[in-house]
């Protein structure tokens, strides 16, 4: 017996609105299947099941805002039918949020969001693929009649609606895709809540080091010369991979501060800060970064940036980062001091890569450098540990062939 | 391909990576990444878009030549027109 609960998609999240059920009662679900979409202050997310089973009747109708931890539906074991008493399964998502008590029963609607977008007037059921296509083509699902089982809107229905629309004469050329451009009203409040909690609770310490990137960048440029433009690897990929390798050397920075103790995590999931064009910031997780080759990591970063900017992140990507990285690339400020995202215990920040004077062996030269800054939780680690991490980071970057 | 068609491709690809902007309003000699707030990932996406539309693969060492609308136009025109 499993309980499908409103997940916590970050330390700052208190409630979420169940937007849509994507699996009908009686259908079988596998661990990792997307079951529902949930809207938080940060946008719309796809939520996966954490177990195999048969989808039970929804306990919460689409369109309802509920507290984190509220049971949304039961996931029944295969070949079992009726609803039973609450189980005690703790999903990975719930495990991350132990810092705040999880309400076990549904609570009355709580509104912490000052401005919500208008609620959908009725329940719309559509296949995930139809839903995506509708978003891409800026088609309103509410205006479509579904031809699938139980009136579910399918991909073909959306294509037909798009054809019908495009056949109509356009009065203006300025139609914008529905997903682009509009700042999510709660985004600022969500960031405010998380960062206030961080600064209130986490005694940060900061370490900074200057890293000479000349050799790794020359190596990367030689590699990229053999690649088509589509396969070219950006410098940030070297930085993120080196962080993962350095965390294998100094694992104390990879984990959570929960229940008054450091809980080091075995997997390295790096929360990668992505700025949204309309303003605001999301740091979804790149999973198992130490296991990825550089081309695979480049592909994962590209995919994550695209999905962050089009609102297609998964719930798990919002919950399981074990450390965060922020990177300014080749524009912007020289040094960044990060604010840790609780319950994580560290954040690594890279400023702008730029040419600087560099003294070595009694000679002064010009090198391409980056300032790497570590913000870490002093409850969990000390400066000595942080310093070892930055040294390991530099060591791995100076051997790019091994990344 | 005419120069007008090339211009249309360039503006369409810029619009894809900066959907809320009006690339046609940017000064052709202004740094396009500063003007439209294009990060290094989006810049690569932009060059992939040019490559798909024109078949021209701009190597990394030429990135400095394609930092403005005028620069992009001249670079692609020299190889296409």
Confidence check on the interface: ipTM exceeds 0.85, yes or no? yes
Give residue-wise pLDDT tens across range A193-238: 889 999 999 999 999 999 999 999 999 999 999 999 999 999 999 9
Among A109-118, A239-248, A308-317, top mean pLDDT goes to A239-248
A180–B19 CB contact, under 8 Å: yes
Q: Which residues contact A140 (CB under 8 A, 6 or more apart)?
A: A134, A178
- Percent of chain A past pLDDT 70, that is, above it, reads 81
Give residue-wise pLDDT tens across range B39-62: 999 999 999 999 999 999 999 999
A226 at interface of B, judged by CB pairs closer than 8 A: no
What kind and span of H or E run contains A254?
Answer: none
**CA–CA gap between residue A161 and residue A144 (Å, rounded):** 7
Say if residue A287's pLDDT is above 90.
yes
**Which of A28-37, A195-204, A262-271, B24-33 shows the lowest per-residue confidence on average (mean pLDDT)?**
A28-37
Domain ranges of chain A: 2-96, 202-402
**Residue that wins the pLDDT comparison between A157 and A360:** A360
Tell me the Cα Rg of chain B: 11
A181–B20 CB contact, under 8 Å: yes
B39–A331 CB contact, under 8 Å: yes
Q: Which residues contact A243 (CB under 8 A, 6 or more apart)?
A: A270, A289, A323, A325, A348, A393
Say if residue A150's pLDDT is above 50.
yes
Predicted confidence at residue A32, as pLDDT, reads 85
Predicted confidence at residue A329, as pLDDT, reads 81
User: Which band of pLDDT confidence, cut at 50, 70 and 90, is reported for residue A142?
Assistant: confident
CATH 1.10.1200.10 is right for the domain spanning B3-80: yes
| CA-closest candidate to residue A158, choices A173, A138, A178 | A138
**Which of A137-151, A232-246, A273-287, B23-37 shows the lowest per-residue confidence on average (mean pLDDT)?**
A137-151
Predicted confidence at residue A2, as pLDDT, reads 85
Give residue-wise pLDDT tens across range A12-28: 788 889 988 888 888 88
Q: Give the nearest chain B residue to A178 (CA atoms).
A: B19
Q: Which residues contact A116 (CB under 8 A, 6 or more apart)?
A: A17, A65, A185, A186
Predicted confidence at residue B49, as pLDDT, reads 95
CATH 3.40.470.10 is right for the domain spanning A2-96: no
**Which of A89-93, A199-203, A238-242 shows the lowest per-residue confidence on average (mean pLDDT)?**
A89-93
Predicted confidence at residue A123, as pLDDT, reads 58
Mean pLDDT score of chain A, rounded to an integer? 82
On chain A, the residues whose CB falls within 8 A of the CB of B33 are: 331
User: Which band of pLDDT confidence, cut at 50, 70 and 90, is reported for residue A342?
Assistant: very high
User: Which band of pLDDT confidence, cut at 50, 70 and 90, is reported for residue A166?
Assistant: low
Domain ranges of chain B: 3-80
DSSP strand pairing (A270-272 vs A323-327) = parallel
A384 at interface of B, judged by CB pairs closer than 8 A: no
CATH 3.40.50.2300 is right for the domain spanning A202-402: no
């Amino acid at each position: 017996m499993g309980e499908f609960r409103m997940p916590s998609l970050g330390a700052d999240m208190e409630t979420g609105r169940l937007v849509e059920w994507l699996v009908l009662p009686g259908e079988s679900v596998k661990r990792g299947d997307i079951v529902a979409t949930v809207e938080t202050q940060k946008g719309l997310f796809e939520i996966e099941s954490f177990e195999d089973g048969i989808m039970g009747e929804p306990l919460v109708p689409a369109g309802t805002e509920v507290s984190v931890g509220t049971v949304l539906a039961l996931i029944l074991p295969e070949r079992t039918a009726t609803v039973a008493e609450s189980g005690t399964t703790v999903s990975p998502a719930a495990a991350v949020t132990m810092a705040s008590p999880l309400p076990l029963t549904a609570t009355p609607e709580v509104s912490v969001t000052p401005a919500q977008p208008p609620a959908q007037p009725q329940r719309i059921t559509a296949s995930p693929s139809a839903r995506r296509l509708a978003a891409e083509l800026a088609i309103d699902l509410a205006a479509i009649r579904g031809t699938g089982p139980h009136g579910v809107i399918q991909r073909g229905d959306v294509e037909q609606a798009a054809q019908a629309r495009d056949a109509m004469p356009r009065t203006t050329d300025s139609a914008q895709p529905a997903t682009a451009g509009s700042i999510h009203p709660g985004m600022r409040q969500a960031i405010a809540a998380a960062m206030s909690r961080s600064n209130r609770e986490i005694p940060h310490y900061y370490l900074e080091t200057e890293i000479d990137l000349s050799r790794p960048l020359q190596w990367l440029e030689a590699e990229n010369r053999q690649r088509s433009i589509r396969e070219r690897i950006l410098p940030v990929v070297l930085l993120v991979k080196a962080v993962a390798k350095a965390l294998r050397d100094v694992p104390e920075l990879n984990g959570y501060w929960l229940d008054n103790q450091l809980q080091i995590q075995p997997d390295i999931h790096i929360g990668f800060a992505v700025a949204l064009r309309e303003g605001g910031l999301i740091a979804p997780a790149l999973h198992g970064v130490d296991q990825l080759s550089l081309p695979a990591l480049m592909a994962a970063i590209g995919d994550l940036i695209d999905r962050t900017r089009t609102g297609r992140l998964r719930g798990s990507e919002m919950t399981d980062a074990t450390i965060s990285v922020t990177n300014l690339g080749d524009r912007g400020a020289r040094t960044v001091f990060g604010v840790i995202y609780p319950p994580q215990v560290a954040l690594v920040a890279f400023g702008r890569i730029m040419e600087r004077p560099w003294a070595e062996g009694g000679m002064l030269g010009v090198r391409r450098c980056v300032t790497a800054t570590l913000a870490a939780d002093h409850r969990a680690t000390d400066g000595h540990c942080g310093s070892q991490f930055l040294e390991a980071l530099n060591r791995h970057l100076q051997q790019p062939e091994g990344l | 391909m005419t120069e007008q068609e090339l211009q249309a491709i360039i503006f369409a690809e810029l619009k894809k990576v900066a959907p809320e902007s009006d690339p046609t309003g940017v000064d052709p000699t202004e740094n396009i990444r500063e003007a439209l707030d294009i990060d290094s990932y989006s810049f690569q996406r932009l060059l992939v878009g040019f490559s798909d539309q024109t078949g021209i693969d701009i190597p990394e060492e030429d990135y400095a030549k394609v930092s403005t609308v005028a620069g992009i136009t001249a670079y692609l025109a020299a190889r296409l027109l």
